[in-house]
Amino acid sequence: MHRFLTILIAILLGLAFFWLVVMKVVSRIAASLGASAPCPAAVGWLVDNPIRRNYMHSLLDRVGIRPGERVLELGPGPGVFTVAAAKRAGPQGRLVAVDIQTRMIEQVELRARQAGLTNVETHVASAHSLPLPAASVDRAFLVTVLGEIPNPDRALAELHRVLTPDGVLSVSEEFLDPDYPTAAETIRRVEAAGFRLAERHGNFWLYTLNFRQSVESADERAFHAAGDNFAAVA
Ligand X SMILES: C[S@@+](CC[C@H](N)C(=O)[O-])C[C@H]1O[C@@H](n2cnc3c(N)ncnc32)[C@H](O)[C@@H]1O
Which residues bind to ligand X, rule: CB under 6 A?
38-39, 47, 75-77, 80, 99-101, 104, 126-127, 143-145, 148-149
Closest separation in Å from C-beta 182 to ligand X: 17
Cβ–Cβ < 8 Å for 41, 104: yes
Rg of the chain, C-alpha, whole Å: 20
Q: Which is nearer to ligand X, 102 or 229 (CB)?
A: 102
Q: Which is nearer to ligand X, 170 or 213 (CB)?
A: 170
Closest separation in Å from C-beta 175 to ligand X: 13
Closest separation in Å from C-beta 162 to ligand X: 13
Burial 82-100 (b: 16+ CB within 10 A, else e): bbbbbbbbeeebbbbbbbb
DSSP assignments along 77-111, one per residue: TTTTTHHHHHHHH-TTSEEEEEES-HHHHHHHHHH
Q: Which is nearer to ligand X, 138 or 179 (CB)?
A: 179
Closest separation in Å from C-beta 219 to ligand X: 37
3-state secondary structure of 34: coil
Closest separation in Å from C-beta 24 to ligand X: 14
Distance CA 189, CA 187 (A): 6
Q: Which is nearer to ligand X, 47 or 159 (CB)?
A: 47
Q: Which is nearer to ligand X, 39 or 206 (CB)?
A: 39
Where are the alpha helices (H) located in the chain, listed in sequence order?
Answer: 2-17, 23-32, 50-63, 82-89, 102-114, 152-162, 183-192, 218-233
